[in-house]
């Protein structure tokens, strides 16, 4: 009789125990789906099949983004490794990528070169009609500085002219 007792001394039949476990499992699954829904579609609840489909595609997108960023990091680190082996005459290295209403700038400079302040680069973006989403400065090996700025056009219809930003940044660094 002791193996049939669950909880507060109440005895339950094996069928009642199974029913209770199934009820707890369903409640737990419902809670998990609510948590998943809050991550995938926080504005409204979706039916479970749609929720799982959206969660799957969302995770695939995140995985692709992580892989893209990992490859980009490796290529940048590879470029910096090549620069450290060669003379610093190849620096600074400026690259600007533009897609839709988003623009990204990567600038690699030698520490012995003219100092550029991050806020100066941010000001260039803002003056050219971009809202800065992320600005980062990284000191690498006490020899190089990496500036990364990501901006988005304040007015999407007008956009951002990457060539103007590039010209203005080149004026700052030379």
Indicate the SS3 state at residue 43. Answer: coil
Place of tokens 């700052």: 172
Consecutive 10-residue averages of pLDDT for the chain (174 residues): 49 91 95 88 83 88 88 74 54 85 89 84 91 89 85 83 90 85
What is the per-residue pLDDT across 150-163, written as a single tens digit (0 to 9) for each? 999 888 777 788 88
CATH class, 93-173 region = alpha beta
Residues of the chain with CATH 3.30.70.260: 93-173
What architecture (CATH level 2) is domain 14-81?
A: Irregular (4.10)
Residues of the chain with CATH 4.10.280: 14-81
CA 121 to chain centre: 21
Is the Cβ–Cβ distance between 126 and 165 less than 8 Å?
no
This prediction's pTM: 0.51
Q: What is the pLDDT of residue 133?
A: 93
Rounded to whole angstroms, the Cα distance separating 98 from 165 reads 11
Neighbour-count burial of 156, counting CB atoms closer than 10 A to its CB (0-12 exposed, 13-18 middle, 19+ buried): exposed
Q: What is the pLDDT of residue 4?
A: 45
């Amino acid at each position: 009789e002791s193996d049939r007792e669950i909880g507060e001394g109440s005895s339950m039949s094996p069928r009642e125990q199974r029913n209770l476990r199934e009820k707890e499992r369903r409640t737990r699954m419902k809670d998990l789906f609510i948590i998943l829904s809050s991550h995938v579609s926080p504005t409204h609840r979706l039916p479970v099949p749609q929720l799982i489909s959206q969660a799957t595609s969302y995770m695939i997108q995140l995985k692709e983004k992580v892989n893209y960023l990992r490859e980009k990091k490796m290529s940048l680190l590879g470029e910096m490794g090549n620069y450290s082996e060669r003379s610093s005459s190849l620096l600074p290295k400026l690259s600007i990528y533009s897609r839709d209403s988003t623009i990204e700038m990567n600038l690699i400079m030698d520490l012995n070169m003219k100092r550029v302040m991050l806020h100066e680069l941010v000001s260039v973006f803002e003056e050219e009609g971009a809202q800065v989403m992320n600005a980062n400065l990284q000191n690498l090996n006490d020899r190089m500085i990496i500036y990364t700025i990501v901006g988005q056009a304040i007015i999407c219809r007008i956009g951002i002219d990457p060539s103007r930003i590039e010209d203005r940044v080149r004026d700052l660094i030379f």
